[in-house]
Chain A
Amino acid sequence: EVQLVESGGALVQPGGSLRLSCTASGFTFNNYWMTWVRQAPGKGLEWVANIKQDGSDKYYVDSVRGRFSISRDNANKSMFLQMDSLRVDDTAMYYCARRAVAGWSNWYFDFWGRGTLVTVSS
């Protein structure tokens, strides 16, 4: 059974840092792109970042580029999101998701974790 478990969410002050983790099980982790998606309270889903199987390619939404860094440890089936210079509008539930092939140059998020809550407030 595919499982994704996020951790690391917390209350942090504006300007602070936080590192989120996503631990995978039930599949060959290094065969898949992985993704972070966030959801602000009462709002919709927002894609944050993708990382390739070997970590060589990483993509970010503009609002986090330069502040957030996605990485992975295939040996330990884990993915991370290092979040620096946090802002109030980064407050959200952060989900990790597995990115599966839907077709040529097309992907979708076939499994999601339950999320970890990040609150940025003074």
Chain B
Amino acid sequence: NFVLTQPHSVSESPGKTVTLSCTRSSGSIASNYVQWYQQRPGSAPTTVIYANKQRPSGVPDRFSGSIDSSSNSASLTISGLKTEDEADYYCQSYDTSTLWEVFGGGTKLTVL
């Protein structure tokens, strides 16, 4: 089984671009799709990216996802940052060996 590691916190200014990382500890990042969930304070999570780079309807194109096999990591990039993007972001993937869903520890994004 593997672990997904995310930085604990990231800060950036409104209007800027930020990239959040999610590194897989073992096995290839390309083995299973990576999803990203946004959780605003006091609210349930919502999906912002699924299948590495797909955006659900209603998610603005300021949000984009990618994977990098060389660093064995996935990334969520948010451009044109808005204060409303301030939230916790979790990456998630599926472990086909254990049949478990795996979440990263989450990154707290501060926009100020």
- List residues of chain A with CB under 8 Å of any chain B CB: 35, 37, 44-47, 50, 59, 61, 95, 100, 102-103, 105-110, 112-115
Contacts and interface: CB of A to CB of B under 8 A. Distances in A.
B54 to A, nearest CB: 8
Interface string B10-49: 0000000000000000000000110101010001111100
A61 B103 CA distance: 12
B44 A115 contact: yes
A107 B92 CA distance: 10
Contact of B44 (A103, A105, A114): A114
A51 B105 CA distance: 24
Contacts, number: 65
Interface in B81-102: 88, 90, 92, 94, 96, 99-102
Given A107-B94, A112-B45, A61 B106 contact: no
Interface of A is mostly: strand
Nearest to B6: A44
Nearest to A100: B50
20 contacts: A35-B101, A37-B45, A37-B101, A44-B104, A45-B45, A45-B92, A45-B106, A59-B100, A100-B50, A102-B33, A105-B32, A106-B33, A106-B94, A108-B33, A108-B35, A108-B92, A109-B45, A110-B50, A112-B46, A114-B43
A61 B51 contact: no
A103 B102 contact: no
